[in-house]
Structure 1
Amino acid sequence: MCSLPVPREPLRRVAVTGGTHGNEMSGVCLAQHWLRVPGELQRPSFSATPVLANPEATAACRRYMSRDLNRAFTSSVLTTRATPEDPYEVTRARELNQLLGPKASHRAFDFILDLHNTTANMGTCLIVDSSHNAFTMHLCRHLQLQTPDMPCPVFLYQVPGEETFSINSVAKNGLALELGPQPQGVLRADLFSRMRSLVGAVLDFIELFNQGTSFPAFEMEAYRAVSHVDFPRTEDGDLAGTVHPQLQDRDFEPLQPGAPIFQMFSGKDVYYEGEATVYPIFINEAAYYEKGTAFMQTEKLSFSVPALPALTPAPTPGP
């Protein structure tokens, strides 16, 4: 399934973005810390650039000010002529595209690592657009091997035929870390420390690649988005029920046909009527109430990832 060409030169231009959502505090606080003390992001072959992606939302401790910044990196947003009436996040997306991109250009950053928290019980989730990028798949595998006692499921968010829209899609390669559960506007020491360690592991992998390390082929599992499921609602659009206790906190676990998914306020249970087993994620995510999503349905995929060959050393200039 990996079809995009792998990098054939060292990755020099790397960014770590936090605060894309201003109330997801692990990434916010790490970005703010590294802007003051950036030495932790330095490696022998490169130095990662810390970026506070949405400073106004961060200052207000809100997910966003006008619209979701992490959905704003589409060609229509980035290429439309600017006007004074543009929402703040549209303007900010264009600024970040100039700083880290432009998207899909040879001048774009080599890699963007974007830091997120979720209120759902997602654990340590690695989010990429698709399985087509062998370099990012090898990075995910590296993180999984570095933390054998901590599951790191891979979520492929891009629906076939859909354009990428996240901040890390601006770069030639990218990955988002999604750690939870953590309430919005709250910083948990355990998730902060885990995210910090994962960032270090990502930068270490890039350094290994830059120094000429090769990585063997492997088999991988990942979860691909299938559909979004809304809460049960009244005719007026109000909630008529909530996530069933037997589904709550069971992100990435198999959901079988006939299993309960919602509990109506009337006391009645609503059951999953699909014909195939699916794997719900972002179950009862606070930020998705406004999006009409009680959880996302995913399917589990297994696929082969080809070897990542070592970089060929640049020829030494002659005398």
Structure 2
Amino acid sequence: MKSINSVAVVGGTHGNEFSGIYLVRQWQQHPQRITRDTFTTQTLFANPKAHEENKRYVDSDLNRQFSVEDLANPALANYEQSRAKVMNNVLGPKGNAKTDFIIDLHNTTSNMGPTLIVLQSDDFNIRMGAYVKAKMPEAVVIFEDQTPLAEHKFVSSIAAQGVIVEIGPQPQSVLRQDVLDWMEIMTMHILDYVDLYNQGSLPELPASYEAFRYTETLKLPENAQGERIGMVHRFVQDNDFKPLHQGDPIFKLFNGEEICWDGHYEAYPHFINEAAYYDNNLAMSLAEKITVQL
């Protein structure tokens, strides 16, 4: 892969996820903290209007607006759809982007700790995961590589390379020092990795490491009318990345019944009971544990 010449650090894609917003503001005042020798770094505050209104988004989720088709469709013109087109002009255009690498900063209400989400399983991303975990053992790496990059709708898919830094638990519209610190530390390790990668000076990395690969998303229990009739079971709550075996309780219905996991594989829930996903009645994402070989 060619060298990374330009990096963008994006905060505030969701207006009520505060850590990335406050970090981007700090780095705009002190750009030397995110400056490295082998590439240029810019910052972008993605969704200022949503932040002013203290909302995740104004009209629609900004982090779902970056498919090539949607970016090219002038009929998609609500606030976030229009904002996505502006961002694509600044960082992209997608498919031939002037930005080589995007780091998109997010908070989750789920107990996921410091999590790095990568969209591709090429050598660059595999080694990045190894480097981040070597420097930050508490970090979790998730591969969401089941979809080609061109078909992803995330901000970080504008560039040929991009990752999502997802840190929690943090309630919406508040700051937590531990979460903000994790986000800053992980971002610095990623920037260091890119710099070392460009120089061909990466340290010796472990031959393999544990990671996760996204498999599916589960919805909260509903009745025939689409009304919510249950909640995430306390057995699962706050146990992100803990194994879920067949027969383990996963939902508790309001009538007292339990629904158990009946999948054919050992699942690892994450984004458990994420507050932002209630508008779509989503309960959690699932993953399989994998061993990544360098």
8 Å Cα contact 2:252-2:258 kept in structure 1? yes
Q: Is 2:111 the counterpart of 1:121?
A: yes
- What amino acid is the match of 2:77? D
Describe the SS at the equivalent of 2:43: strand
Superposition misfits of 4+ residues, deviation over 3 angstroms: 158-162, 214-217
Unaligned 5+ segments in structure 2 are none
Does the aligned pair in 2 maintain the 1:24–1:116 contact within 8 Å? yes
Equivalent of residue 78 in structure 1, options 71, 74, 77:
71
Match of 1:14 in 2: 7
Larger radius of gyration: 1
Query: Residue 114 of structure 2 contacts residue 186 of structure 2 at CA under 8 Å; is this kept in 1?
Result: no
Match of 2:170 among 182, 186, 200: 182
Matches within 5 A, 1:151-170: 152-160=139-147, 163-170=151-158
| Pairs within 5 Å for 1:59-74 | 59-74=52-67
Q: Secondary structure at the match of 1:289?
A: helix
**AA partner of residue 103 (structure 2):** L
Aligned Cα root-mean-square deviation (Å)? 1.8
3-state SS of paired residue (1:136): helix
Summarize deviations over 1:95-119 as a string: whole Å, max 9, x none. 11111111121x4311111100000
Q: Using the aligned pairs only, state the percent identity.
A: 38
Matched, 1:194 2:182: yes
Aligned amino acid, residue 178 of structure 1: E
| Aligned-pair CA distance for 1:46 | 2.9
Task: Give the partner amino acid of 2:160.
Answer: K
Confirm or deny: 8 A CA contact 1:73 1:169 kept in the other structure: yes
Shift of 1:161: 6.2
Secondary structure in structure 2 of the residue aligned to 1:43: coil
1:102 paired with 2:89, answer no
Q: Any conservation in 1 of the 2:219–2:282 contact (CA below 8 Å)?
A: yes
Residue correspondences, number: 292
Deviation at 1:214, TM superposition (A): 4.3
2:279 aligned counterpart, secondary structure: coil
Letter in 2 for 1:153: V
CA shift, 1:263, in A, is 0.9
Q: Which runs of 5 or more residues in structure 1 are unaligned?
A: 1-5, 306-319
Q: How does 1:230-309 map to 2 (within 5 A)?
A: 230-305=219-294
Note if contact 1:158-1:164 (Cα within 8 Å) is conserved in structure 2. no
Normalising by structure 2, we get a TM-score of 0.93
3-state SS, counterpart of residue 10 of structure 2: strand
1:25 is matched with which residue: 7, 13, 18?
18
Deviations along 1:34-71, one digit per CA (max 9) or x if unpaired, are: 22332211122333111101111121121111111111
Code of the aligned partner of 2:161: N
Distance 1:237 1:75, change over 3 A: same
The residue number in structure 2 matching 1:3 is: none
Question: How far apart are the structure 2 equivalents of 1:297 and 1:202?
Answer: 25
AA at the equivalent of 2:191: L
- Output the CA distance in 1 between the equivalents of 2:191 and 2:9: 10
- Partner residue of 1:91? 82
Supply the AA of the counterpart residue of 1:194: W
Q: Distance in 1 between matches of 2:250 and 2:84?
A: 36
- Conservation of the 8 A alpha-carbon contact between 1:117 and 1:181: yes
Contact 1:136 1:174 in 2 (8 A): no
2: CA distance, partners of 1:205 / 1:276: 34
Contact 1:35 1:51 in 2 (8 A): no
1:193–1:214 distance in 2 versus 1, CA, 3 Å = closer
The alpha carbon displacement at 1:286 in A equals 0.5
Cα deviation, residue 178, structure 1 = 0.5
Q: 2:106–2:165: 8 Å Cα contact kept in structure 1?
A: yes
Return the TM-score normalized by structure 1: 0.86
1:54 to 47, 54, 68: 47
- One-letter identity of the residue aligned with 1:110: D
